[in-house]
A = this chain, B = another copy of it.
Amino acid sequence: MKRTTISDVAERAGVSIATVSGVLNGKTGVRESTRARVQAAIDAMGYRPVEAARRRLQRPGERTLALIVKEIHNPYFADIVIGAQEAARERGFHVVVMSSEQDVDLERDAVRSLAARDVDGFIINPLLDDGADLSHLFALTHRNVPFVLLEGLRGILQTTLVDVDNVGAAREATRHVIDLGHERIAHLAGPEYSMHAAERLEGVRRAFSELRRDLPDRMVVHAGASVEDGYRAGLDLFGPGRSGLPTAVTCYNDLVAIGLMGALSHRGLRVPEDVSVVGYDDIRMAAYLPVPLTTVHVPKRDMGRLAAELLIEQLDSAHPPRAERVRLPASLVVRASTAPPRAALTG
């Protein structure tokens, strides 16, 4: 069964396709009786115009940007979306979002399907897994579809990257708890193959090595990126029968920190009295938690804005897409979840 087209409708209504087109587009100069007849045919046949045939083929059409995030649940991305949407809207663009949910195949699929839908440009927070098959990104390059990355290595791809100095910020966060007097500090690291996770872990390591201190392997646990991951890791880390418990924990992100705080509470430990907790991202709720979270503020909204702006700039200018790396500032905001360790207080 072939799809019903405008000529099927025209035939059925006994008019020309031009008339049907007129009805479809609310043009004047169609007699009411004709309009009704055409509309009846449309309804009867369940006709639906093929938009592809109108759009770019005839009109300039609206322009849209696609934003591909790693996990739709993370408020980190929500703010980036908001920022990108703002900037895009100001320039007459729309933003559609797809989530790869940490699945490389989904990411690849998303890029392909959106590219086939004439999306004008992409903002992608890519999954950088082991093999790092970036063919879908190269395909974009190949077809002159511009994109901006939100995570990744410079140089790997000839394109723009918007991010923050994760190593530096994580170092600063770790330094904060060290300076507070903590000795046993754990780090709940993010997903294995995430560049962000690697960078933040590197920052933690750097804070230690700078002071010629040691970060024991057991103090680093790869937890994941969700509240539940943080909760699980926390329950485990502070499990019964454990000795040498950390007095401070830095987390991959705020979600993990929130989960950790839940676990601590369930273990009867208090924040910050018993354990100091540091997050990362500064998601909106961080400041409103029962114990406001000390965390690294990442200018997510600005990142979204900037990514969209740079992308649109590339779109409108000629073809040379510079491979620049824009680093926005990120810095620690100290709230109530960190304090000197009890030992230091009483000692």
Contacts and interface: CB of A to CB of B under 8 A. Distances in A.
B99 A48 contact: no
Give the residue among A116, A143, A262 with the most B Cβ atoms within 10 A: A116
| This protein's copies in its complex | 2
Interface string A100-144: 010000100110111111100000000000000000000000011
A97 B99 contact: yes
A56 interface: yes
B228 A118 contact: no
Contact of A97 (B96, B113, B117, B318): B96
Contact of A110 (B94, B115, B265, B291): B94
B258 A143 contact: no
Contact of A96 (B85, B96, B258): B96
Given A46-B144, A72-B78, A96-B96, A290 B265 contact: yes
A150 interface: no
29 contacts: A24-B143, A46-B318, A48-B143, A48-B144, A51-B56, A52-B53, A52-B118, A61-B116, A62-B112, A85-B99, A85-B101, A89-B106, A94-B98, A95-B98, A96-B96, A96-B114, A97-B97, A97-B99, A117-B118, A227-B284, A228-B288, A230-B288, A258-B285, A258-B288, A258-B289, A259-B285, A262-B292, A263-B288, A265-B291
Contact of A99 (B53, B81, B226, B288): B81
Given A72-B82, A143-B49, A98 B98 contact: no
A208 interface: no
A90 B125 CA distance: 24
Nearest to A66: B96
B96 A98 contact: yes
A117 B64 contact: yes
A49 B288 CA distance: 49
A319 interface: yes
A73 interface: yes
A290 B262 contact: yes
Nearest to A290: B265
Nearest to A226: B284
Contacts of A145: 48
Interface of A: 24, 42-43, 46-57, 61-62, 64, 66, 72-73, 75, 78-79, 81-82, 85, 89, 94-99, 101, 106, 109-110, 112-118, 143-145, 226-228, 230-231, 255, 258-259, 261-265, 284-285, 288-292, 318-319
A318 B1 CA distance: 12
Contacts of A228: 284, 288
B82 A101 contact: yes
A106 B95 CA distance: 11
A265 B53 CA distance: 59
Nearest to A4: B144
